[in-house]
């Protein structure tokens, strides 16, 4: 698996790059699996493909704080990210992994790999709900996926030094909650992973055997997707 540790200048470009990596893999004649890391320079809210912003995001608070709201191509609910939240994305070929043929098994496969990587460093890491990672019942990672015919994009958040109060300020209670949340507020439910970003990167890269640097990433497609989709209100605010 190839490794791309790259944060682009804008939120739109970073979201576009995840999609571009998926599209490039889908059109390739050979297997192209990639692990990417990035970390936003400023806080932002990222909503799911079908999220209804009015019900998931405290829009007025985000405007007052100057925090933009963008939409990703994968499902799930809104998340808040920024400095102190490591973002990852993994592009996997579905034909190489039988677990990726069904959505529930895909979640278990990827999250199980991440949890195993973290357990050696932080006891108590577990998969919870459909797509969460948690320490002793408190969530530090939310994840989502996008499937194409041959490839899958799985990406998510890894909180490690994030100002958790921003979550309460920017997000309403989610419309759908896993049972293990038990109605807890964001402040009572979410936590930071007690590891530095470098250690998280190393553990996850080792778990996926990702060591070959990806130098030829899809620059032109990323730029086009950022301009035509991720910077457009018609995409970000469609629901």
What is the number of other CB atoms lying within 10 angstroms of the CB of residue 202?
14
* Pairing between β-strand 69-71 and β-strand 44-47 as defined by DSSP bridges: parallel
pLDDT digits (tens, 9 = 90+) for 35-78: 999 999 999 999 999 999 999 999 999 999 999 999 999 999 99
What is d(CA 98, CA 9) in angstroms, rounded to the nearest whole number? 36
**Residue 129, pLDDT score:** 95
Which of 200, 219, 166, 167 has the alpha carbon at shortest distance from 6? 219
pLDDT-based confidence at residue 175 (cuts at 50, 70, 90): confident
pLDDT digits (tens, 9 = 90+) for 6-32: 999 999 999 999 999 999 999 986 778
Whole-structure pTM value = 0.95
What is d(CA 72, CA 47) in angstroms, rounded to the nearest whole number? 6
For residue 49, the SS3 value is coil
pLDDT digits (tens, 9 = 90+) for 90-106: 999 998 898 898 999 99
Q: For the chain, which domains are there?
A: 2-236 (3.30.930.10)
Q: Are 190 and 74 in contact (CB under 8 A)?
A: no
pLDDT digits (tens, 9 = 90+) for 97-136: 988 989 999 999 999 999 999 988 999 999 999 999 999 9
Edge-to-edge order in the sheet of strand 151-159: 125-128, 132-135, 138-147, 151-159, 85-93, 34-38, 2-5, 212-213
């Amino acid at each position: 698996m190839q490794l791309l540790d790259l944060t682009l200048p804008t939120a739109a470009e970073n979201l576009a790059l995840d999609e571009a990596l998926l599209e490039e893999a889908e059109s390739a004649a050979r297997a192209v699996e990639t692990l990417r890391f990035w970390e936003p320079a400023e806080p932002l809210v990222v909503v799911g493909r079908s999220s209804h912003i009015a019900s998931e995001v405290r829009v007025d608070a985000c405007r007052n704080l100057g925090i933009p709201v963008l939409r990703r191509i994968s499902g799930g609910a809104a998340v808040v990210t920024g400095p102190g939240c490591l973002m990852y994305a993994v592009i996997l070929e579905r034909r190489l992994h039988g677990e990726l043929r069904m959505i529930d098994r895909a979640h278990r496969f990827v999250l199980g790999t991440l949890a195993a990587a973290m357990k050696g460093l932080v006891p108590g890491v577990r998969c919870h709900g459909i797509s969460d990672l948690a320490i002793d019942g408190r969530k530090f990672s939310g994840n989502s996926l996008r499937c194409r015919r041959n490839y899958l994009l799985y990406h998510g958040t890894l909180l490690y030094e994030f100002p958790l109060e921003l979550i309460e300020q920017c997000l309403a209670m989610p419309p759908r909650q896993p049972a293990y949340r038990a109605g807890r507020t964001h402040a009572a439910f979410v936590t930071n992973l007690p590891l530095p970003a470098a250690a998280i990167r190393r553990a996850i890269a080792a778990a996926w055997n990702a060591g070959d640097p990806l130098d030829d990433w899809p620059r032109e497609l990323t730029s086009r997707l950022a301009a035509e989709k991720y910077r457009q209100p018609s995409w970000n605010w469609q629901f």
